[in-house]
Structure 1
Amino acid sequence: MSVNRNERNVMAVALLLLLGWSIAACSSTAPQSAGPPVHTVFLWLKNHDSAADRARIIRAAESLRIIPGVVRVEAGRQVSVPAEMVDRGFDLAVAITFRDRAALLRFEGDRYCRQAMARYLRPLVRRYAVYDSGVR
């Protein structure tokens, strides 16, 4: 059976691709560690037109910086962007960055955090959604 030069080149490329795929399939697929955890809370206010309520919640959120392990607290309103996929339903978002996962877990049971929720979230917030993620 005679194989011409073009067929040999095609076979060589196919073999290299197969070899590369095999090596990639055998390599470790362990998930990469995420960066510091970010606890993002989206809030729907009972009185969504109230700048005073929004300011109270932002002050309360910023006060959470005193909790050990909290690295940064940022809060703000939604950004108006002309995109169909953007959810425009929330009134305020708070993003809290933690030193590590253990700090996030401690935060969720922290007495000061629970007091702030009882004092500010319950009376002023109709609904909220929380998302935890790791960013790099």
Structure 2
Amino acid sequence: MKNSNRRKFLGTAATILAGTAAATASPLQAAAPKYPVVHHVFFWLKNPGSTEDRDKLVAGVKTLAKIKTVKELRVGVVASTEKRDVVDNSWAVSELMFFADLAGQAAYQTDPIHLEFIKNCSHLWEKVIVYDAVDA
């Protein structure tokens, strides 16, 4: 009975060891970016203390997800994270968009939904900063 358990244990251990060795021997490959063009926008409100204005802007930004070339949209508000010299928490709302290509990002700029958003919500913000990037 003891030999049977020992053989079972050794067989299981050898299988685990072989699987671990195979997994660590193969190099990790980074996945190709799903959507390589990133459009990140930060908004500062005219009335920074107004939750109502912030919520209106958030709702307006969310309408941009309907634009065909916008592949992903994330909308955020300032997080209560640790205060550090490198952290800018002076903004109120951010949008993070992903596009399949630069042509899609360019089409977004003139899309009627985007233009309607600007018309309906630009009175809410005092300042906007945009960061566009492509995967390196």
Pairwise TM-score range, normalised by the shorter structure: 0.5 to 0.7
Q: Would the aligned equivalents of 1:42 and 1:130 in 2 still touch at CA under 8 Å?
A: yes
Q: Offset at 1:73?
A: 1.2
Q: Which residue is equivalent to 2:82?
A: 81
Q: Offset at 1:129?
A: 0.5
Q: Would the aligned equivalents of 1:34 and 1:135 in 2 still touch at CA under 8 Å?
A: no
Q: Offset at 1:135?
A: 4.1
Q: Which residue is equivalent to 1:63?
A: 63
Q: Which residue is equivalent to 1:4?
A: none
Q: Would the aligned equivalents of 2:35 and 2:100 in 1 still touch at CA under 8 Å?
A: no
Q: Offset at 1:35?
A: 5.1
Structure 1: which 5+ runs fail to align?
A: 1-32
1:67-99 alpha-carbon deviations (Å, 9 max, x no partner): 111111111112222321111221111111112
Letter in 2 for 1:106: A
Aligned partners of 2:58, 2:64: CA distance in 1, in Å?
10
Q: Which residue is equivalent to 2:124?
A: 124
**Structure 2-normalised TM-score?**
0.68
Q: Which residue is equivalent to 1:53?
A: 53
Aligned partners of 2:60, 2:36: CA distance in 1, in Å?
22
Q: Would the aligned equivalents of 2:35 and 2:98 in 1 still touch at CA under 8 Å?
A: no
Q: Would the aligned equivalents of 1:41 and 1:128 in 2 still touch at CA under 8 Å?
A: yes
Q: Offset at 1:111?
A: 1.8
Q: Would the aligned equivalents of 2:61 and 2:75 in 1 still touch at CA under 8 Å?
A: yes
Residue 92 of structure 1 pairs with residue 88 of structure 2 = no
* Identical counterparts, % of pairs: 25
CA RMSD of aligned residues (A): 2.0
